[in-house]
Structure 1
Amino acid sequence: MSNRSLRAVLAADEQLGAGNVLTTRMRLDLDVDAPALAFDTPVDQYPARLSLTVRQLDELVRGRAAALAELGIRPRDPVVVFATAAADQVLGFLALARLGAIPALLNPLLDAERAARYIARLGAVGVLADAEHRVALADAELAGTPLLPELDGDPDQAPEPYPHWSGDPVAITHSSGTTGLPKAVLHSHESLFAAIRHRYSLPRAQGADRVLSALPAAHAATLIAVNLALGSGAELLLLSQPSGAQVLDEIESWRPHGVFGFAATWAALARFDLARRRLDSVSLWWNTGDCAHEAHIRRLVAVGSREQATRAGRTRLPGSVFVDGLGSTEMGHSHFFLTHTPESQRYGRCVGKPHTFVDCQVVGPDGTELGPGEVGELITKSPTLALGYWNDSVTTQRTRLRGYFRTGDLVHRDEEGYYYHVDRLVDAVELPGGARLYTALSEERVLAACPEVADCTVVARRVDEQVVTDILLQLAAGADPAVDRTAEVVAALEPAVARTVRQVSVVADAAIPLGPTGKVRKVLLRERQPAELGAR
């Protein structure tokens, strides 16, 4: 069956959603011996990196579902999955979804103390944990939530797939947790599939037939990637906790045509001399979550290759395509998109235009809609939006405005309808005279102006009624850390922002605290003293 035919058949199924793509392919006998998912660790009798067919994947899922049913897991039961391997996260999700239960995927990088508090708040009926995380939780207070035994069931004893309704809860994933305890975000059968259904109406993107995923396995983006692959006949290799070096090694060995990741992924890759790596198989870099920095995008689109239509027919050109956007766990999918090639010039934290399924506005503090060029909070309405926060109706209602979701992102749009992201609301600081300091935009400018800086973190706060800014530089390989780059960095900033700079410091990577999805925890940096930030 062709990929187009497969997508057409699935698109016609009105019951299809995030909880039943695999079972639907099996039920309709749709190319079930075609390769689908691969993992970077062995799974049962299968070696690492073997592309499992739909039939093999279904057998693995049925075995786990049978074991879960034997343990008494039923529809609507929230069950935590806390494991390092992407295989454990993805197969746990698929098995629990088959039962109509609610998999609550927990990032394995979350420390045991915060993980225990998060689990206790969920009120889950059990925790599926690997050996490492069972040890981490052994003495934790989980409010009576039991650790479930290792799953070993007979696939033939699996219950029939649960018949999902569009509004059924299908997964709980969590926010990045950069400002405290991560928030538990509830997705529905329909919401987590809405963007995939939209993609069925479009030609399959170049590079989307064989994809390497460097996304956090416990994130909603991974669940979308899994169902997108299962629903479009693509092959997807999921990495568990990839470093930049591992992603590059996997590209060279597995030869994907596309790579999915977050902004932190591209920052890690851009530290390497990419021209010396064998990356010609890659046509597509696909970003979600925070938008990416120009300095990192330009390094990536300079390598790889892409097809392009010319007068002489389709030909392969050097240089790849980078699809940027802006999304979040709550948004369920990137709500904007922008395609970069080596020839692109639209940067400055432009995230592109909204997808056709998105209705968004830029509003001021009082909720009044703002016009072009005016910076305000992005609010958005879309079928991809999560249902809200699990066991937290207060936060759910506080993040709603006239039926829109308040993203906490500060943006503006131009007269052509392109949107630009400047900062998170919690990180921006008011300056005298009505000006405003945007830390993300400042980082963008420093990276664009200073080629020896691989990554940059701007920390702004009020000290004795004055705004002070500390700029932390992570240098590219070979750059001299003893060089004073203060003048170069300050010159890249807007004058009002430059006047607030207290120090420019070179720091080690370990000095930058990261959340479990790789986002910088600026709230912790704002609490540190100048000496702790690496003052020179």
Structure 2
Amino acid sequence: MGADNFRATLAADAELGAGNVLPRLAAHGADLHAPRVTFDVDVDDIPAWTPLSLATLTDRVAARAAWFAARGVGRRDPVAVYVTSAPDVFLNFLALTWLGAIPALMNGNMPIELAAEFVRRLRGVGVVLDADHAALREHDLGVPVLGDAAETGTGDPAQAPPHHRHHPEDPVVVTHSSGTTRVPAAIVHSHHGLFAAIRAVRLTESRPYGEVRELSALPAAHAAGIITLNQALCNGYQLLCLSAQGGPFTRSAETILDAIERWRPTGVFGFAVTWSELARVDLGTRDLSSVRNWFNTGDCAHESHVRRLVAVGSHPTWTRDGLVDVPGSKFVDMLGSTEMGHGAFRITHRLGSDRYDRCVGRPYPFARIALLDVATGEEVPDGQVGHVGLKSPTLAIGYWNDSVTTWRTRLGGWYLTGDLMYRDEAGDYHHVDRASDAVDLGGGAWLYTALSEERILKHCPDVRDCTVVAATADDGATVTDVLLLLADDADTTLDRTDRVRAALGPAVAATLRRVVTVPDDDVVTGPTGKVRKFLMRQRLLAGAGQP
């Protein structure tokens, strides 16, 4: 069976979903011995950087399924997984879904105190840790620690029970939000929901020319990490999953670039913070010629970062001499969130692209979008900013053990994503801010922090990244601080206040308290690297020195 026919067969398989990719691939006759997934750390007795086949993956997952089953874990049992390495996340996810259990995947960067509260709220049957997170044992979790992740691969694969048969609406995994405004929210995804975009798009779109090798710098414990793994397995692509951490909240530029040069991927997946990290480096000094596509999800990426990336890499094109690789790559921006289950919008940038200004393109065919006035529930006209409402088969079921938050995010049958956007006359959507971060300045004027950051970066090319924090004091006055993260070769003595004011425009500039250059650790971030602006606002109002 040809690759396209095989993909069509998978797309038509009504049983296939996020929780049973391995057995369904085997049932359809997939090549069990071709290299599929590579990790940059050891897996049981398999050395790092060794490609794993479907047969090896299945064997290692079956061992873990047997280990969990021997400890009484079964159907519908929530089990927290709080580990660092990508294989400890993915293999335990696959093993727990094998049993019909519900893995709750926790970002390894989540602080111990928040992690303990997350586990307590989960009300599961146990938790799996690794050596990096052994301190969690000292907390009252309400559930036992089932063991160390290093032990889970010691089960006997032959003793694994039969694979659970999932219903489309079965809860298949709990992931969590970025935790930018509170304790990270536990978000539950269904068997078909977390696979819906793969079925609708990834298995039906044209297969890229030649060999496809994808590198994931995404957090393995994020919904996007699970989707990336499953879509690579179903499409027959090779996938490298990074575990090495280069900093407290993200993989460093050097870690990612070294992996690209070593493994030669054709595509790289990351969050917006990934591209901010790469902006530290003169990319022209690194060999990135293998990369044809950069894939972003979560927050939309900044123009200044995208332009650096599309200037490197390569893409195939037909010439008089046949098909050759020429300089320049594509950047595919897919705005989404954990709750959305998959990016709902898509826009592609290339060399010479000019659709920026936080343009996120148009919705995927499976996603219905409405921009709403939340006071009336009615749609706003083109050109007017509204709250994003989404209807999509990819949507998460809701918030685990938190029906109050689940229903507060619904309005007239729409899921409110928490984003503010407008649609232009051409039908393209533009993201301006998170609703929780925008400030009404009165008289029809608004301060949109994300849009302000975009404009500052465009006006200040020596600024690698920035954070705009705005808060309204008790007297009704709005105060804004701008925190700049400079490029390594930038002049640290230069006063950029006038340039920042010009970028912000008169209404927002009138609220400006200060423009200050800060080190990275002065910006408060959550487990996935997103800025925790609500904490930054508290610091601003308290006047506690530099945020």
The 1:226/1:533 distance shift into structure 2, 3 A limit, reads farther
Is 1:405 aligned to residue 408 of structure 2?
Answer: no
Q: Which amino acid in the other structure matches residue 354 of structure 2?
A: Q
Alignment length (residue pairs): 534
Partner of 1:153: 155
Q: Which amino acid in the other structure matches residue 223 of structure 2?
A: A
Provide the rounded CA distance (Å) in 1 between the counterparts of 2:65 and 2:321.
Answer: 53
Structure 1 counterpart SS, 2:50: coil
Structure 2 counterpart SS, 1:459: strand
Provide the rounded CA distance (Å) in 2 between the counterparts of 1:196 and 1:420.
Answer: 25
RMSD over aligned Cα atoms: 1.5
The 1:386/1:457 distance shift into structure 2, 3 A limit, reads same
Instruction: Judge conservation of contact 2:290–2:313 (CA < 8 Å) in 1.
Output: yes
What's the CA shift string for 1:102-144, capped at 9, x where partnerless?
11000110011110001000011010111221x2212111123
Is 1:169 aligned to residue 171 of structure 2?
Answer: yes
2:456 is matched with which residue: 435, 446, 459? 446
Partner of 1:27: 27
1:204 is displaced (CA, Å) by: 2.4
Instruction: Judge conservation of contact 1:191–1:385 (CA < 8 Å) in 2.
Output: yes
Partner of 1:484: 495
Provide the rounded CA distance (Å) in 1 between the counterparts of 2:71 and 2:344.
Answer: 39
Instruction: Judge conservation of contact 2:471–2:540 (CA < 8 Å) in 1.
Output: no
1:243 is displaced (CA, Å) by: 1.6
Structure 2 counterpart SS, 1:224: helix
Instruction: Judge conservation of contact 2:290–2:314 (CA < 8 Å) in 1.
Output: yes
1:76 is displaced (CA, Å) by: 0.7
The 1:207/1:121 distance shift into structure 2, 3 A limit, reads farther
The 1:473/1:206 distance shift into structure 2, 3 A limit, reads farther
What's the CA shift string for 1:313-337, capped at 9, x where partnerless?
5432211000002100000000000
Partner of 1:99: 99
Instruction: Judge conservation of contact 1:208–1:284 (CA < 8 Å) in 2.
Output: no
2:373 is matched with which residue: 339, 364, 368? 364
Aligned pairs for 1:28-107 within 5 A: 28-107=28-107
Partner of 1:502: 513
Structure 1 counterpart SS, 2:379: coil
What's the CA shift string for 1:378-409, capped at 9, x where partnerless?
01000000000111111111111122110010
Q: TM-score normalized by structure 1?
A: 0.97
Instruction: Judge conservation of contact 1:263–1:287 (CA < 8 Å) in 2.
Output: yes
1:280 is displaced (CA, Å) by: 0.4
Aligned pairs for 1:430-445 within 5 A: 430-445=440-455
Provide the rounded CA distance (Å) in 2 between the counterparts of 1:223 and 1:35.
Answer: 19
1:217 is displaced (CA, Å) by: 1.0
The 1:345/1:370 distance shift into structure 2, 3 A limit, reads same
Partner of 1:268: 277
1:4 is displaced (CA, Å) by: 1.9
Partner of 2:530: 519
1:534 is displaced (CA, Å) by: 3.3
What's the CA shift string for 1:129-174, capped at 9, x where partnerless?
11221x2212111123444353220011111111111111100000
The 1:512/1:407 distance shift into structure 2, 3 A limit, reads same
**Structure 2: unaligned runs, 5 residues or longer:** 246-250
Provide the rounded CA distance (Å) in 2 between the counterparts of 1:259 and 1:428.
Answer: 31
Aligned pairs for 1:246-395 within 5 A: 246-309=255-318, 314-366=323-375, 367-395=377-405
Partner of 1:190: 192
Is 1:239 aligned to residue 237 of structure 2?
Answer: no
Instruction: Judge conservation of contact 1:125–1:146 (CA < 8 Å) in 2.
Output: no
Instruction: Judge conservation of contact 1:458–1:470 (CA < 8 Å) in 2.
Output: yes
**Structure 1: unaligned runs, 5 residues or longer:** none
Partner of 2:232: 229
Instruction: Judge conservation of contact 2:224–2:342 (CA < 8 Å) in 1.
Output: yes
What's the CA shift string for 1:342-361, capped at 9, x where partnerless?
11000000001000001110
Structure 2 counterpart SS, 1:331: coil
1:417 is displaced (CA, Å) by: 1.2
Provide the rounded CA distance (Å) in 1 between the counterparts of 2:508 and 2:489.
Answer: 29
1:6 is displaced (CA, Å) by: 2.8
Partner of 2:436: 426
Structure 1 counterpart SS, 2:92: helix
Partner of 1:466: 477
1:498 is displaced (CA, Å) by: 1.1
Partner of 1:211: 214
Structure 2 counterpart SS, 1:104: strand
Provide the rounded CA distance (Å) in 1 between the counterparts of 2:279 and 2:52.
Answer: 31
Q: Which amino acid in the other structure matches residue 220 of structure 2?
A: A
Structure 2 counterpart SS, 1:431: strand
Provide the rounded CA distance (Å) in 1 between the counterparts of 2:111 and 2:211.
Answer: 34
Instruction: Judge conservation of contact 1:372–1:414 (CA < 8 Å) in 2.
Output: yes
Instruction: Judge conservation of contact 2:526–2:532 (CA < 8 Å) in 1.
Output: yes
Q: Which amino acid in the other structure matches residue 460 of structure 1?
A: A
Structure 2 counterpart SS, 1:524: helix
Provide the rounded CA distance (Å) in 1 between the counterparts of 2:500 and 2:300.
Answer: 22
1:365 is displaced (CA, Å) by: 2.6
Provide the rounded CA distance (Å) in 1 between the counterparts of 2:419 and 2:197.
Answer: 21
The 1:382/1:410 distance shift into structure 2, 3 A limit, reads same
Q: Which amino acid in the other structure matches residue 509 of structure 1?
A: D
Provide the rounded CA distance (Å) in 2 between the counterparts of 1:211 and 1:24.
Answer: 22
Provide the rounded CA distance (Å) in 2 between the counterparts of 1:345 and 1:193.
Answer: 33
Structure 1 counterpart SS, 2:443: helix
The 1:247/1:78 distance shift into structure 2, 3 A limit, reads same
Provide the rounded CA distance (Å) in 2 between the counterparts of 1:209 and 1:383.
Answer: 27
Provide the rounded CA distance (Å) in 1 between the counterparts of 2:448 and 2:222.
Answer: 27
Partner of 1:137: 136
1:341 is displaced (CA, Å) by: 0.3
Instruction: Judge conservation of contact 2:137–2:145 (CA < 8 Å) in 1.
Output: no
Identical counterparts, % of pairs:
55
Q: Which amino acid in the other structure matches residue 169 of structure 1?
A: P
